[in-house]
């Protein structure tokens, strides 16, 4: 499978055949997070993919990987419930490179700020004037209580704007939600920027798959998060969420992982 050549478009894995019952094929709904406690806005949203997104997913994958793109079809995988896809979309006309703050950000408790990411008040989101453009995606295959990233990609025009980081965050949140014990992936050995991003979110090198990638027979590094039962890892993940919001602003999210991030007092 192809590797990714940018910090925010970072890994692929071999095709998987086991079905994932967590796939959603319903019309997407998204949460617009309240900005009462946040003055910084984020132009991106993360939601579950539907069949209507299949062509856009394939387009982003091919734009990101070129001739080394995976041969599988997103539509086929979604129909067969093989992989849960989460897509990141971009507000029409938004330029995240220039999006900033309009005044000093208020100081609030981390619990309130983190919860603001995942408001449970779900409302309609009109694609024609909001988040209509798929600019990134991640495919997650789950089996035996382990979530595995099979593909993650960011459109070349949207790299270095936090899309890849949002995809990693959304993947871990989804894994927590579905009851997985950890997240694993394969990434090209030469992709040092991608490996650095993964390490930021707790992934560690756990093995090597020799001559794994079909285009140049490059080795793949197997990476894994610690077990989600590790309280220190959960605390670290919460801190990373807080940091992401501070730097990038509050995104829209379709799902709420807060019940799965509860920490002892």
Mean pLDDT of the chain, nearest integer: 75
List the chain domain ranges.
11-256
- Give the residue from 75, 95, 98 showing the smallest Cα distance to 25: 75
> Tokens at residue 184, please?
């694993």
Q: What is the pLDDT of residues 63-79, one digit of tens each?
A: 998 877 777 788 888 88
Q: What is the DSSP letter of 27?
A: P
Q: Long-range contacts: 93-96, Cβ < 8 Å, 24+?
A: 94/43, 95/43, 96/42, 96/43, 96/44, 96/158, 96/161, 96/162
**pLDDT tens-digit map of 156-195:** 999 989 999 999 999 999 999 889 999 999 999 999 989 9
DSSP string for 53-98? GHHHHHHHHHHHHGGGS-SS-HHHHHHTT--EEEEEEEETT--TTT
Helix (H, G, I), strand (E, B) or coil at 210: coil
Looking at residue 37, what is its pLDDT? 43
Which of 186, 212, 213, 252 is flagged as catalytic? 186
**158 a catalytic residue:** no
What share of the chain has pLDDT > 70, as a percent? 68
From the list 48, 85, 198, 201, the catalytic residue is 198
31 vs 168, higher pLDDT: 168
Q: What is the pLDDT of residues 210-257, one digit of tens each?
A: 999 888 899 999 999 999 999 999 999 989 988 998 999 888 888 777
CB 190: neighbour CB atoms within 10 A? 15
Model-level pTM? 0.72
Cα distance between residue 201 and residue 58, in whole Å: 26
pLDDT bucket at 110, cuts 50 / 70 / 90: very low
CATH 3.40.630.30 fits 11-256, yes or no: yes
Active-site residue, 128 included: no
What confidence tens digit (pLDDT) does each residue in 120-149 have?
Answer: 333 333 333 333 499 999 999 998 899 999
């Amino acid at each position: 499978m192809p590797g990714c050549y940018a910090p925010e478009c970072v890994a692929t894995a071999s095709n998987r055949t086991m079905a994932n019952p967590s796939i959603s094929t319903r019309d997407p709904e998204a949460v617009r997070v309240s900005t009462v406690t946040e003055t910084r806005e984020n132009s991106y949203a993360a939601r579950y993919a539907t069949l209507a997104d299949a062509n856009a997913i394939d387009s982003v994958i091919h734009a990101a990987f070129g001739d080394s793109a995976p041969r599988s079809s997103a539509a086929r995988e979604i129909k067969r419930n093989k992989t849960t896809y989460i897509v990141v979309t971009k507000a029409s006309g938004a330029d995240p490179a220039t999006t900033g703050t309009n005044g000093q950000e208020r100081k609030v408790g981390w619990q309130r700020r983190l919860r603001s990411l995942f408001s449970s008040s779900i409302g309609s989101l009109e694609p024609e004037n909001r988040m209509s453009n798929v600019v990134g995606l991640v495919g997650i295959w789950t089996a035996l209580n382990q979530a595995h990233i099979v593909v993650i990609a960011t459109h070349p025009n949207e790299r270095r704007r936090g899309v890849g980081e949002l995809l990693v965050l959304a993947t871990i949140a989804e894994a927590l939600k579905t009851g997985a014990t950890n997240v694993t992936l394969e990434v090209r050995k030469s992709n040092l920027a991608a490996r650095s991003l993964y390490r930021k979110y707790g992934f560690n090198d756990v093995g090597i798959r020799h001559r794994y990638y079909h285009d140049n027979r490059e080795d793949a590094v197997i990476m894994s998060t610690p077990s989600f039962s590790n309280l220190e890892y959960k605390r670290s993940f919460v801190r990373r969420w807080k940091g992401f919001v501070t730097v990038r602003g509050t995104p829209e999210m379709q799902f709420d992982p807060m019940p799965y991030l509860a920490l002892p007092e």
